[in-house]
Amino acid sequence: MNGGPRAKKARQPKPETDEAGPARMLSIAPIDGPLATPLNEVGWRLNPRLVGLLNKKGVRKVGDVLFLLPRVYEDRRTLKKISQLVSGERGTIIAEVKSAEEQYGRAGRRTFRAVLADSTGTVAATHFQSGGWLKAKYPIGRRLVVSGEVRRTSYGWEIPHPEVEPADDVESSPVHFNRIVPVYPGFERHEQRSLRELAFKIASRFSNDLEEPLPDDLRERHHLMTLADALRYLHFPPADAPLDALDAHASVAHHRLAFDELFFLQLGLALRRQGLKVEPGIAFDTSAPRQQIATKLLPFALTGAQARVVAQVSRDMSRPEPMNRLVQGDVGSGKTAVAVLASALALQDGYQVAVMAPTEILAEQHYRTFSKMLAPLGTSVRLITGSASAKEKRQQRESLANGVVRVAVGTHALIQEGVEFHQLGLVVIDEQHRFGVMQRHTLMAKGPRPDTLVMTATPIPRTLAMTLYGDLDVSVIDELPPGRTPIETRVYNEKARPKAYQAVQAELDKGHQAYIVYPLVEESEKVDLADATQGAEALTAQFPTARIGLLHGRMKNDEKEAVMLEFREKRVDVLVCTTVVEVGVDVPNASIMVIEGAERFGLSQLHQLRGRVGRGAAKSWCLLMAGYAKSAVAATRLKVMEDSNDGFVIAEKDLELRGPGEFLGTRQSGIPELAVANLGRDQALLAEAQDEARAIVAKDPELREGRHARLVKALEERWEGRLKLARVG
């Protein structure tokens, strides 16, 4: 990570030392006014070292200092006597320096040790460094304030790497003593004092320049303090503030800021949602006869859940405002059928359909499904991928632009410049999590106002769905088609490998097929590729009678398709592959999957992979190879896979274990990061924030009312331009 506070994602568990962890800043970028003043123009002299340090962490403006969040707090309301220190807790004492010297510890490591005393005992301040500056810091006979985490050693009390301050201003200082003081993450102990001083000065001179972004009535309804009060409280809590709540980032001030973050996130999303709704869209004819024609295209009857979602989709489509709906459904729940039905409705009304998938393999599979199912309508379906020749591309574009091709199925090649439609009516996006919000909006902009159906097989916990898809209406397919037997999942270690292979052989003997998946981590693609290639060779020896195919991301598109075709047509029994097979691939005769290096995958990803089996009537297996280094955490994680086949349960666990940043890859998702709000903890707050945001946008869809001017400015500060980008449509 490149160190900028805004690059920080998930909230970290509380680290051991105060200075641990990068600086965290509220995602607010002051755009004008006094808060946008650069630190070096602040009007008083600043320590250049401190400014350099702050700049390095992305803290450049006066406002940025205000938005820097203290990680923990130190109770300096009353200073302690040395005899009152408690091992393992932070403590602050005043004492006189008795001795200060460098010592040589084990392995010749130099340490510095100063001994200080008050009337009740002595304590050693230790630094595992050396240098003249340390001696200067501890002049013999001087009274100092020393604070830090205290520990009891065989030599007595010790405070390693303490924060040391002259005790001269103890009685008079309103900043450093006689109060609860903030400790900022990402700064060393000895930097805390000057940073605290700066924060205090800025808080007292500038916090009144903060405009309150939230409307008063809203603030009062939710009992929220003003932003200025919250920030002052955060940096310099009142004497009666509850320390535990402060440390847990759950004080009234944190609450206000968490609401702020969630509210402006939701307001941005609500605007996107509304922005799409207010523009006139297509009111499709979804009358019963047309629905019957569509339903007859499917070779099976819809499940109850599918029927419900289809009803929601066709209701959306019949309305004049554009549909903007997300369909969530576990792997194998039959999302494609819903998309085919929606497409059939749009086609009968004379419109074109675009279907976008994240990989070429999946695009190709959808191409086959759509071609086959839509054939009775006489629809011309075309596959559009990046690997076509220039001439083919020109032809493809022409036939889309003149309307000869009615359905275009493709990868992100579909959203590239130059691809135009004659009359695009419906956009279907499969496996949404692979695409950013931006890409979705780019495709939507290709039609006058097409309806959009987004399908995702990564079940997303409700709070996250609200965060990520706050601009969409959500449907859930929570039922699998009949006749499925649950997949049985087992975690194996290296020693049990022969057993795993026996299980594969047993399935092959029944005429079934197998997947063997190798992890593909971007940074080491070559290594993994070697793994998969070598794996394929070793497996040839292991399964001498089986026909083994190899599929990986480096292969050319037509090679990939050829291998998939062989696997689908049962000319290949064992498909050795990297994660290219992850999404959507549908080969019902495959009944066993071995996942190598399973500990390297996220749970949701494992669940996705696993969903490639269990698609037929036969009982299916998923064997997770956990390697040698099976840490306790890895074991707990993988155990979840043995215990549950429910994508939502797994997603919740995954979120819990990995944090939202990693779960979502927030950086790509184009939404502001959360510094205070915690999606696990603040679910109720999120719902409140969403209600308020949607209510405001419903009444004033473009925030043009004068009383909403501050909201618009705050949105710009919090989304930093990303909102406009996202509204390209």
Name the site residues for ligand ADP (rule: CB under 6 A): 300, 302-303, 306, 329, 331-337, 457, 481, 584, 586, 615
| Pair 428, 335: CB distance under 8 Å | no
Which lies closer to ligand ADP via its Cβ, residue 373 or residue 671? Answer: 373
Enumerate residues 6+ apart whose C-beta is below 8 A from 178: 76, 77, 170
Residue 333: name its binding partner from Mg ion, ligand ADP, none (Cβ under 5 to 8 Å by kind).
Answer: ligand ADP
Choose among ligand ADP, Mg ion, none what residue 303 binds, the Cβ cut-off being 5 to 8 Å by kind: ligand ADP
d(CA 396, CA 388): 9
Query: Minimal CB distance to ligand ADP: which residue?
Result: 334
| Number of residues located near Mg ion, criterion CB under 5 A | 1
Q: Does 584 bind Mg ion (CB under 5 A)?
A: yes
Within 363-498, strands assigned E span 381-384, 407-410, 424-430, 451-456, 473-477, 488-492
Q: 95: helix, coil or strand?
A: strand
Please report how close the Cβ of residue 336 comes to ligand ADP at its closest, in angstroms.
3
162 counts as binding Mg ion under rule CB under 5 A = no
* DSSP codes joined into one string, 596-620: TTGGGS-HHHHHHHHTTSS-SSS--
Among Mg ion, ligand ADP, none, what binds residue 549 when CB lies within 5 to 8 Å by partner kind? none
Residue 597 binding target from Mg ion, ligand ADP, none, CB below 5 to 8 Å by type: none
CA proximity to 200, closest of 171, 220, 173: 173
Nearer to ligand ADP, 336 or 475 (CB): 336
Amino acid at 330: D
Window of 278-286, 345-353, 387-395, 584-592 that interacts with Mg ion by CB under 5 A: 584-592
553 is a contact residue toward Mg ion (CB under 5 A): no
**Closest distance between ligand ADP and the C-beta of residue 303, in Å?**
5
Q: Which is nearer to ligand ADP, 458 or 678 (CB)?
A: 458
Q: Which is nearer to ligand ADP, 302 or 580 (CB)?
A: 302
- Find out whether 273 and 471 touch, Cβ atoms under 8 Å: yes
Cβ burial of 436 (10 Å; 0-12, 13-18, 19+) is middle
* Token pair for 228: 């200025």
In the complex, least distance from residue 618 CB atom to ligand ADP, rounded to whole angstroms: 14
Residue 475 pairs with which residues in a beta bridge? Answer: 327
Give the nearest distance from C-beta 599 to ligand ADP in angstroms: 25
Q: Can you read off the two tokens belonging to residue 677? A: 């709000």
Shortest distance, position 593 Cβ to Mg ion, whole Å: 17
Residue (303 or 348) nearer to ligand ADP, CB: 303
The string of DSSP codes covering 152-220 is EETTEEEEES-EEEEGGGTTT-TTTSSEEEEE-TTS-HHHHHHHHHHHHHHHHHHGGG----S-HHHHH
Between residues 303 and 579, which has the closer beta carbon with respect to ligand ADP?
Answer: 303
CA–CA–CA angle 184, 190, 196 (5° rounding): 45
Question: Taking CB within 5 to 8 Å according to partner kind, which of ligand ADP, Mg ion, none is near residue 612?
Answer: none
306 interface partner picked from Mg ion, ligand ADP, none, CB below 5 to 8 A per type = ligand ADP
12: nearest Cα among 520, 496, 678: 678
Please report how close the Cβ of residue 725 comes to Mg ion at its closest, in angstroms.
29
Instruction: CB nearer to Mg ion: give 145 or 338.
Output: 338
Closest approach of Cβ 399 to Mg ion, in Å? 26
To the nearest whole angstrom, how small is the minimum distance from the Cβ of residue 695 to ligand ADP? 34
Per-residue exposure over 514-526, b if at least 16 CB sit within 10 Å of its own CB, e if not:
bbbbbbbeeeeee
How far from each other are the two terminal CA atoms of the chain, in whole angstroms? 32
Partner in contact with 302, chosen from Mg ion, ligand ADP, none, beta carbon below 5 to 8 Å by kind: ligand ADP
CB under 8 Å to 126, separation ≥6 — which residues? 111, 112, 113, 114, 158, 159, 160, 161
Query: What's the rounded Cα separation, in Å, for the pair 224 and 213?
Result: 12
Q: Which does 329 bind (CB under 5 to 8 A by kind): Mg ion, ligand ADP, none?
A: ligand ADP
Minimum CB separation of residue 726 from ligand ADP in Å reads 26
In the complex with Mg ion, which residue's Cβ is closer, 186 or 647?
647
Binding at 322: pick from ligand ADP, Mg ion, none (beta carbon under 5-8 Å per type): none
Min CB(298)–ligand ADP separation in Å: 7
Our CB check for ligand ADP shows the closer of 329 and 729 to be: 329
Q: 193 is in the binding site of which of Mg ion, ligand ADP, none (Cβ under 5 to 8 A by kind)?
A: none
Closest C-alpha to 486, from 621, 330, 585, 653: 621
C-alpha span between 335 and 344 (Å, rounded)? 14
Tell me the closest approach of the beta carbon of residue 513 to ligand ADP, in angstroms.
15
Nearer to ligand ADP, 277 or 612 (CB): 612
Cα–Cα dist 665/366, whole Å: 26
Nearer to ligand ADP, 517 or 696 (CB): 517
Work out what residue 586 binds among ligand ADP, Mg ion, none; the CB cut-off runs from 5 to 8 Å by kind.
Answer: ligand ADP
Return the number of the residue (223 or 372) whose C-beta is nearest ligand ADP. Answer: 372
Q: In this chain, which stretch among 105-113, 443-451, 578-586, 661-669 interacts with Mg ion, using CB under 5 A? A: 578-586
CB of 363 vs ligand ADP, minimal distance in Å: 13
Per-residue DSSP letter, 4: -
| Residues 113, 96: Cα–Cα separation, whole Å | 14
Residues near Mg ion (CB under 5 A) are: 584
